[in-house]
Structure 1
Amino acid sequence: MSALFIRINGGDMPARLFVFVGHPRSASLSHGLADAYQRGAEAQGAEVRRMNLSDMQFDPDLTEGYHARKTLESCLEEWRENLSWANHTCWAYPQWWGGMPAKMKGVIDRCFLPGYAMKYHDNDPFWDRLLAGRRADVLMTSDAPVWFDRLSNGRAAKLQVQKPVLYFSGIKPARILQVGPVKTATEAKIAKWLKQAEARGAQAGRKAR
């Protein structure tokens, strides 16, 4: 039996990964990184489900906040089903203006609702992390060098996804692989990044079990 499987209640559970590409365009380096990551995970025998933001049609605006609920579009229902199914998730996207693209943020706003991602307590300021037990990788591209992003912005985009989104809902550890600058990258540099992403996927395929 492969090391990718563990025995739970007499059954075998494979590694289950949900890969989400959060770039609104249909082709990008984010897609390439996700392809490499998926290739690495599948080489280890992991089951992989994938969704691309560019294929999703939905209203990204949480108009009433948590005061009134909108019916989730079918693609958002599918996105939540995939995340619930997975024991490891990978999000690949570009850093734009210190955060994730607006349409991708719309997925989080619409999907990470009380009762799904977290449950607030009635009598204290704390909450239950309803997505606990999952791990995450984030593959983030930027046009600024990582060292400059750290010195100038404190890596705001990294903190945005890692702390108030993933950790808040219980998904941890959340490892961030940020690559850049993309606009001046050579083919050799991009090949190196793709290799790093594939290695992350292979590692996730071995651990997410």
Structure 2
Amino acid sequence: MDRGTHMKQLLILNADLEKSESTRFLIDAYVNGAVKSGAIVKEIAIVDLIFNSNKQFINRQAADLEPDLQKSFDAIKRANHIVLFCPVYVDVIPAKVKGFFDRLFLPDSVFTFQRQSFNNNFSGKSARIVSILDQATFEDWKQNRKTTYLSIKRTTFENCRISPVHTSTIGHLLSLENDYSKKWLRKMEKFGTDLI
């Protein structure tokens, strides 16, 4: 059997605009597990991409993708499993992160023009959203169990036929050495090994 044709393609979307140590800690654990299972891993840091967050339509037609967005779109199409690491501060998603999803995950009905084939029906793919909350947002989440990643889960990933979409909600990692952080390190590595 040709192992190469069956290797899983994992795409990591790092939505931490500050590229913080705690986010890197969790990503590395997930990637470590995925590599052990034989997956091919690609990572995109949204903060490094150059694109116009608001440039969606020109004369009612979807705008052409800038090179960085086109490369991201191609990576999404190749991936079997997508994992978004998204810090949430005071219950908001940063504008650049929102713009990334607005540009690439618009409903299929938008893309009716002929000059560009842009099919964002991503059926057959699965995803996980790792939402990393600051202390105040985590305390609020423990009360109402709602956070901003639900909009990405439902109106973005699931609307583009990605299923299942798993979620993890992680409170502020005060230290990377405490029991809470080590627990999530083990969980991320296991999720990576299983590509879930």
TM-score tier, shorter chain, comes to: 0.7 to 0.9
Please, which runs of 5 or more residues in structure 1 have no aligned partner?
A: 6-10, 123-127
Deviation at 1:134, TM superposition (A): 0.5
Q: Is the 8 A contact 1:23 1:101 kept in 2?
A: no
Distance 1:150 1:157, change over 3 A: farther
1:93 and 2:86 aligned: yes
Aligned to 1:80: 73
Deviation at 1:63, TM superposition (A): 5.3
After TM superposition, where is structure 1 displaced by more than 6 Å over at least 4 residues in a row? none
TM-score, length basis structure 2: 0.82
3-state DSSP class of the match of 1:156? coil
1:175 and 2:166 aligned: yes
1:161 and 2:152 aligned: yes
Deviation at 1:13, TM superposition (A): 2.0
Deviation at 1:147, TM superposition (A): 6.5
Q: Give the Cα–Cα distance (whole angstroms) in 2 for the partners of residues 39 and 23 of structure 1.
A: 19
Aligned to 1:149: 141
- The CA RMSD measured in Å over matched residues stands at 2.8
3-state DSSP class of the match of 1:49? strand
Deviation at 1:108, TM superposition (A): 0.5
Please, which runs of 5 or more residues in structure 2 have no aligned partner?
A: 113-118
Aligned to 1:38: 31
Question: Given the alignment, which residue of 5, 10, 20 partners 1:17?
Answer: 10
Aligned to 1:138: 129
Aligned to 1:200: 191
Q: Give the Cα–Cα distance (whole angstroms) in 1 for the partners of residues 151 and 13 of structure 2.
A: 17
Deviation per residue, 1:127-173 (Å, 9 max, x gap) = x9711111001111002475631524x41323112111111111111
The sequence identity of aligned pairs, in percent, is 23
Structure number with the higher helix fraction is 2
